[in-house]
Amino acid sequence: MKELTPRQQQVLELLRSFIEERGMPPTRAEIAKALGFRSANAAEDHLRALERKGVIDLCRGTSRGIRLRDSLRVQMGIPLVGRVAAGRPILAEEHIETRYQIDPALFSPRPHYLLQVKGMSMKDAGILDGDLVAVHRTPDIRNRQIVVARLDDEVTVKRYRQVGKQVWLLPENADFEPIEIDLSEQAMVIEGVVVGVLRRDANGKLHG
C-alpha cells in the first residue's frame, strides 16, 4: 500500500469504523459531515485518491459503493484527539495531535480514538491525570458507563446517568461535584464510551 496523507488516513479510519458499527460503508455526504468537509465532492476526491493507492475499491453508480481491500489487515494508528473546537466534529483533522500504533485487540469493543485525561476527577475509577482513555464511538449509551461528554468546546470524562431529560455526569472522586444537565435547555453530545485506559511508564512507554 502506498503511503497515505494524514487526511487520507482519516478518511480510511472513518470508513473502517463506520463499516464496523453499521455493517455498511458511509455515503459521500456522511463522510463530509463526519470529517467537516465543505461538500460531498471533497469526500469523493479523497475516495478516488484511496482507490488509486490500492486501499479501497469504488463501485460506480451506488452511494455506498465502497469496499476495503483485504490488504488493510495492517493496523492503522489510533488518533489522539487534542483540544476540540466548538461546532467541529471530534475527529476533524485539526483536533488530531498524533497517532499511536496500538493493537485494538487490547480493547473490546474496538476504540476509535484516544483522549488524554486532565485532572483527577475519575481517580477512584483508576483513571488518573495524564492517562489516555480509549474511546469507542456508539449511539448506545447506558447508565453507569464512563463516557466522553462534550459541552460546547469542553470535553469531559465522567460516569453517565440519565433520567428523562436530566443527565448527571458523575465524578469518581469525592472532591469533585457532579455536572447536572437539563437536555431541554442545554445541548450535550456523547462522543463515545471509555473502553480502556493507557498509562505511560517512567520511560514514556504506554501500557494498558
Active site residue 121: yes
User: Residue 172 and residue 126: Cα distance in Å, rounded?
Assistant: 9
Catalytic residue from among 121, 123, 184, 205: 121
How far lies 107's CA from each of 130, 196, 207, 208, in Å?
A: 19, 6, 12, 9
User: Residue 43 and residue 177: Cα distance in Å, rounded?
Assistant: 42
User: Residue 154 and residue 83: Cα distance in Å, rounded?
Assistant: 9
Secondary structure of residue 8 in the 3-state scheme: helix
Alpha helix (H) residue ranges in 6-161 = 6-22, 28-35, 40-52
User: Residue 27 and residue 30: Cα distance in Å, rounded?
Assistant: 5
Catalytic residue from among 158, 165, 184, 205: 158
Residues with Cβ within 8 Å of 82's Cβ and at least 6 positions away in sequence, in order, are 95, 96, 97, 116
Structure-derived torsion over alpha carbons of residues 84, 90, 96, 98, reported in degrees to the nearest 10:
110
How far lies 99's CA from each of 9, 44, 95, 136, 180, in Å?
A: 10, 24, 12, 16, 33
Residue numbers annotated as active site: 121, 158
